[in-house]
Amino acid sequence: MTNYQTIDEANRAVADKIVASAPFLLDVVPAKSVIAELNEGKVLLHAGPPIKWENMTSPMQGSCVGAALFEEWADNEDDARAMLDRGDVTFIPCHHVDAVGPMGGITSANMPVVVVENRTDGNRAYCTMNEGIGAVLRFGAYSEEVVNRLRWMRDVLGPVLSKALQTLDEGMNLNVIVAKAIAMGDEFHQRNIAASLVFLKEVSPIIVSLDIDEKERQEVIKFLADTDQFFLNIMMASAKAVMDGARMIEEGTIVTAMCRNGENFGIRISGMGDEWFTAPVNTPQGLYFTGYSGEDANPDIGDSAITETFGVGGMAMIAAPAVTRFVGTGGFGDALKTSNEMLEIVIDQNPNFTVPTWDFQGICLGIDARKVVETGITPVINTGIAHKKAGIGQIGAGTVNPPVACFEKAITAYAEKLGLTV
């Protein structure tokens, strides 16, 4: 280490940056306009640490098929698969290009992405928009309906939101929305309805005043009103922007990213920069829609665990009593226990986001990989559950824990970097 004397000091500095961060939603733009790599041939972004096409689980592959159809690289599933099998498409983890993607995380050139800037460091992060529930691309569905919705989001929703956001001088202050919604019962992973409503409250007066087609105006408002999880993707981009700002301090053992690709769970820690530490993913435990069970569940996927990395989601379980039942069959007590237990693996609590149901304690701040290894307590991640077969989509929701091996590898690598001979 060069700037700090002890790991604790370095970790404190990383945590201070998280607390000081100021994420603003600036715009909604086609992904290719902000992510240069998407312009170099057929390129798809995916969730999690790097993965090969042949190792992707079926829903992630399904998302790729959907994206290929959406980008009109093929006009039917067979051709799209053949193309992907041939290796015509280059894959890049979202995280490598300042982005995050929910579930499969498949992001293509013409999909609109939200642009969030962390004002304290000037860095930006991107995420596709939430498509709603049911048959949706992120869970591996790629039917005509799915692709058509993506087109509408590209042609109508994206441009309308962009116009609306352009009317704001500064962009939209996301910390304010998060602080409000956490008091309204959101934990920002499983439950985003309050934040989605606050977002709607902010943009609807603008949208109704825009000079746009009346039908489009009506469609956009309706879509935002219907989409309970709309804010999730904004939260993900916000958390990514904050964590990327914080990890500019390349020292210490604070976890700066957690993500999954269906094959591996990957984490980064501040002291090891861009390096991924991976181990095989677990399969979520949870509640299933009728007709489905744990047997149908796809192994854990998605970059959405960036929310837990920031301190919300499962880490803030107590903020959202409404979703606590996903922990098991327990209620408030279990949620309290979960968040209290999470306090054991973080270095502090974030005073910006206090939780009323937690006696106004701040959300968890700064997962310390050392503490995870020391205690064996791993972060609790709230997550949706995809069917393991492409095309079916979401079949339930629940929680999942990262494999502790990721954290063990990370701290061992860091100790070696600092001079320990193992």
Contact string 246-285 vs another protein (x = CB under 8 A): -------x--------------------------------
Distance CA 418, CA 251 (A): 10
**Binding piece for another protein, criterion CB under 8 A, among 45-53, 151-159, 217-225, 370-378:** 370-378
Contact call for residue 152 and another protein (CB under 8 A): no
Distance in Å, CB of 310 to another protein, minimum = 20
Other CB atoms within 10 A of residue 391 CB: 18
Distance in Å, CB of 240 to another protein, minimum = 26
Contact call for residue 405 and another protein (CB under 8 A): no
> Are the C-beta atoms of 312 and 179 separated by less than 8 Å?
no
Among 79, 202, 275, 408, binds another protein (CB under 8 A): 408
Q: Which two tokens stand for residue 305?
A: 């665990």
Residues 318-357 that bind another protein (CB under 8 A): 322-323, 325-326, 329-334, 336-337, 340-341, 343-344
Distance CA 106, CA 421 (A): 40
Q: Which helix (H) or strand (E) holds 381?
A: strand 381-386
Q: What strands lie across the sheet with 381-386, from one edge to the other?
A: 285-288, 394-400, 381-386
**Residue with smaller CB distance to another protein, 216 or 296:** 296
Among 83, 133, 168, 183, binds another protein (CB under 8 A): 133
Other CB atoms within 10 A of residue 249 CB: 21
> Are the C-beta atoms of 306 and 239 separated by less than 8 Å?
yes
Q: Which two tokens stand for residue 337?
A: 């226990």
Contact call for residue 5 and another protein (CB under 8 A): yes
Contact call for residue 75 and another protein (CB under 8 A): no
Of 66, 350, 320, the closest CA to residue 195 belongs to 320
**Residue with smaller CB distance to another protein, 240 or 387:** 387
Distance CA 306, CA 234 (A): 12
Contact string 282-311 vs another protein (x = CB under 8 A): -----xxxxxx-------------------
**Residue with smaller CB distance to another protein, 88 or 334:** 334
Residues 85-114 that bind another protein (CB under 8 A): none
What is the bridge-based pairing of β-strands 277-280 and 264-269?
A: antiparallel
Task: Output helix, strand, coil percentages for the chain, rounded to the nearest 5.
Answer: 45, 20, 30
| Site of interaction with another protein (CB under 8 A) | 1-7, 13, 132-135, 253, 287-292, 322-323, 325-326, 329-334, 336-337, 340-341, 343-344, 370-371, 373-377, 392-393, 396, 408, 411-412, 414-415, 418, 420, 422
